Chain A
Amino acid sequence: MNEKNGKRTICIRGIAVLISIVAISVCIFMFLTHIRGFREVADADSYDKYYVMITKDSKSSFWQSVYQGAYRRGLEENAYVDLLGENLSEDYSREDLMRIAISSGVDGIFVESDESGELTELIDEAVDRDIPVVTLYGDNTHSKRCSFVGVGSYNLGREYGRQVLKIAEEQKKEKSEEKGEIQVAVLTNAYTMNSGQNIIYSGIQDAIEQEKTEDIDFSVSYITVDDTNTFSVEESIRDIFMEERLPDIIICLNELNTTCVYQAVVDYNRVGQISILGYYDSDTIINAIDRNVVNATFSIDTEQMGGFCVEALTEYYLLGNTSQYFTADVTLIDKSNVAQYLEGGDEDEN
């Protein structure tokens, strides 16, 4: 009996020692594997297609949002979308990035375009090398691009026009004695020569002409903003405020302009004197509406825009051609519905 017990305890001890050694080795092995994991790259998935997005200002929240839309849609189609130039040590122009994209053998390019000839050439070169190009936000109509994804610029223009009329009516009620024409300034970028801007402009004019009910004179004019240099936009917008005669309503056609105008109005203490119609629904702009500095802005469904890019190329690869135009939804944001965007904006932030 005793002997048996002794044997059993020896057995148990041996097993315990063995188990502890095994446990230690397993722990060490797991630890080492865990450490090896540091070095190895986490996501080793491979994708069928590789698309790149080229924009002028890849850091703005507008383009980041568009990119996110494209990226998410791309993952669904097993395609990877990169915002080109984002993690390069040098800042390249759109043209350079186009050349890089062409030579690095991508499967598709989304480019924020304008009507410049150099871009036309590059787009054509890409298409010649079997890389489909989708122009984004701004079109390059003369190129061989396969599709354009943007906002409905004419409709957007008309909406701007309606907002201008609304503001004019309100102003008339407040200061009825004052007569004179209401000056509407549309800020356009000098360098980009975006065809969309022109369409918006004509949309604004058409809306004002056709829907004007009262006898108010409007003078709609361009103010050209210099965007040739990196920081010139902000400077040239400030210049407007140095003029003696300020426009009553300023219409901004991109996010940066809106932000700059808003800041200038605050800085020059012109809140209430100048009405601003903004563009895009960044947090800053939404907050500005909430504070009554900006009258209204348009929210563009940027995610949808990004998604359209990928969809266009998927369709192209599937069918050999695709729809020429994709239009992203546009929503007006003013005092009445800003609250929900404030919350939504917060959610987006998170």
Chain B
Amino acid sequence: MKMRINPKKLSLQEKMSCVFILANMLVFLVTLLLFTGINSMFREIDMVYEDNMHLNELSDALTAVQDSMTDYLNAKTSDSLEEFYRNEQTYTEMVEGLNDEIAGTAFLRMERSIRHMSREYLDVVGQTIEAKRGRNVEKYRVRYENATQMYGYINTYINSLNNERFRNNSENYSRLSDAFRRFETISILVLTVVIVGNVILIIRFTGGMIRPLKGLATSADEVAKGNFNVELIPVAAEDEIGIVTKAFNQMVVSIRQYIERLRQSMEIQQSLKEKELMMEAHLKDAQLKYLQAQINPHFLFNTLNAGAQLAMMEEADRTYDYVQNVAEFFRYNVKKGNETVTVREEIELVDNYIYILNVRFSGEIHYKKQIDEGVLSVRMPGMILQPIVENCINHGIREMEGRGKIWLSVYQEDDFVCISVKDNGRGISTENIEKILNGSYRQEKHPGSSNGIGMDNVIARLKLYSEMDDVMSIYSEGKDMGTEFVIYLKKKEEGEPYHVQDHAG
């Protein structure tokens, strides 16, 4: 089984830790190397004068041999003999450590000479001691002199070697300390380079780790500004940033889907509403057609015409007039049912209507007109005034038994043509006025109690025609104080195009 660390699966903390540990290890390693270097240089420097120390020891040992020999020759004590043997042993051992090769180096050759001379010297010294022990005075004196002479030579050799070594070592020392200083500089340089490299490494590594986070931040900013069409960020690694990126991507996708759904449902709602409206319009149209069909004007008109002719033949003038008026009244419906009409025609219709009513109710309604002749040709939708007047009679003055009055006046005000229908009947409460004006009164009323056209229809058609809201005002000063309906028309002369035709049709 091979253990493998997948760098993509490490968490952010682990990654960061790895990078920093790596960087620190690098610096540590390099520092360790440099320390090792410095350490071994120190050792080298320490070793420089080792040879000299060694030679000094050798010289001391030699002197000790010579001194102990002289001591023994002087006093011949067993102590001094013992010491001599000890010193001789030490010196012999030291001499054995010297070089014995004929080397190309002066130092080593001198060591060889010292070694050889020392051996001979020790021989002579041994012989001297032997001679002394044997009390051979002449012999040991000569040998002592020999030994002393050789002692001098050896000492000179050791000193010379020591001097040469010292000079050489001093040179080495200064070179070493130079090198040491150079090494110091190099170390600092290397360390600096490594640290700079490390910093670059860390910056690059962490940069690589943080880069997706930056992308995420930019995208999040875009989303925050309302742009949901940001590109999805690729998930580079499975660390915390990767998880956040994934979640962010998920979120963006979800938001997009949600918006899409919302839009679709709104569209559906919109179309539903449109349908509803259409249905209403069609229903109304059907209702109207139905009402119109109820009073088939052509049949009525023809019937009435026949009545009028009959009355004329029988010379009943008043009957003729009456029937004629009724016929006129219905003819208006036949003729102008769907079209716009002039104010004059509307007023004529009202005249007819009131005449008919007065005949029916034997002159109960007092009708007065005040007309501005200049606006009679202004166009307006048909079947407007008659329903208003009918309304006044039915609800205002029906039960007033001969005292009911209707005033009709047409005048100009600013750019508008005002048509006022006023009665002196029961009046309408303010509450009901509101209801009438916003069309909610209708439901309470029984349709078909009159001609079939209610106030709401009148107001609605006026609004559609004028393309404005304030088409009618209702004034009533209180109970039994009468009511005044005022309608406002834009001045539209005969022949001018009008906009309501589509609606009306």
A interface residues, Cβ below 8 angstroms from B: 3, 10, 13, 17, 20-21, 24-25, 28, 31-32, 34-36, 38-39, 41-50, 79-80, 82, 87-90, 92, 96, 99-100, 103-106
- Would A80 and B102 count as touching, CB distance under 8 A? yes
- Would B112 and A88 count as touching, CB distance under 8 A? no
Find the A residue at minimum CB distance from B190: A24
- Would A50 and B160 count as touching, CB distance under 8 A? no
- Would A103 and B109 count as touching, CB distance under 8 A? no
- Would A24 and B159 count as touching, CB distance under 8 A? no
B41: which of A32, A88, A99 is its contact (CB, 8 Å)? A32
A29 to B149 CA separation, bound complex (whole angstroms): 49
In the complex, the number of residue pairs spanning A and B with C-beta atoms less than 8 Å apart equals 114
- Would A89 and B159 count as touching, CB distance under 8 A? yes
Binds A, one of B29-37, B296-304, B387-395, B434-442: B29-37
In whole Å, how far is B72's beta carbon from the nearest beta carbon of chain A?
22
Is B341 an interface residue, CB under 8 A from the partner? no
Contact A100-B30, Cβ < 8 Å, known A43-B105, A88-B160:
no
B30: which of A24, A41, A96 is its contact (CB, 8 Å)? A24
- Would B44 and A39 count as touching, CB distance under 8 A? yes
Is B229 an interface residue, CB under 8 A from the partner? no
Find the B residue at minimum CB distance from A13: B201
- Would A104 and B113 count as touching, CB distance under 8 A? yes
Is B40 an interface residue, CB under 8 A from the partner? yes
Contact code string B19-55 (vs A, CB < 8 Å = 1, else 0): 0000000100110011011001100100110000000
Contact A46-B102, Cβ < 8 Å, known A28-B33, A88-B160:
yes
Chain A residue contacts of B108, Cβ below 8 A: 41, 44
- Would A39 and B172 count as touching, CB distance under 8 A? yes
Chain B residue contacts of A10, Cβ below 8 A: 7
A79 to B104 CA separation, bound complex (whole angstroms): 9
Is B117 an interface residue, CB under 8 A from the partner? yes
Contact code string B86-129 (vs A, CB < 8 Å = 1, else 0): 00000000000000011111111110111011001100000000
Chain A residue contacts of B114, Cβ below 8 A: 104
Contact A42-B105, Cβ < 8 Å, known A10-B7, A24-B190:
yes
Find the B residue at minimum CB distance from A51: B102
B40: which of A13, A32, A44 is its contact (CB, 8 Å)? A32
- Would B105 and A41 count as touching, CB distance under 8 A? yes
- Would B120 and A28 count as touching, CB distance under 8 A? no
- Would A104 and B116 count as touching, CB distance under 8 A? yes
Chain B residue contacts of A24, Cβ below 8 A: 30, 33, 190, 194
A87 to B157 CA separation, bound complex (whole angstroms): 9
Contact A44-B103, Cβ < 8 Å, known A50-B112, A89-B156:
yes
Find the B residue at minimum CB distance from A50: B102
- Would A21 and B176 count as touching, CB distance under 8 A? no
Chain A residue contacts of B30, Cβ below 8 A: 21, 24
Chain A residue contacts of B47, Cβ below 8 A: 39
In whole Å, how far is B36's beta carbon from the nearest beta carbon of chain A?
7
A-B contact pairs, 18 of them (CB 8 A): A17-B201, A24-B30, A35-B41, A38-B172, A39-B47, A44-B103, A45-B103, A46-B103, A49-B102, A50-B102, A50-B112, A87-B106, A87-B164, A90-B156, A100-B117, A100-B157, A103-B150, A104-B117
Residue with the highest number of chain B CB atoms closer than 10 Å, among A13, A34, A49, A100: A100
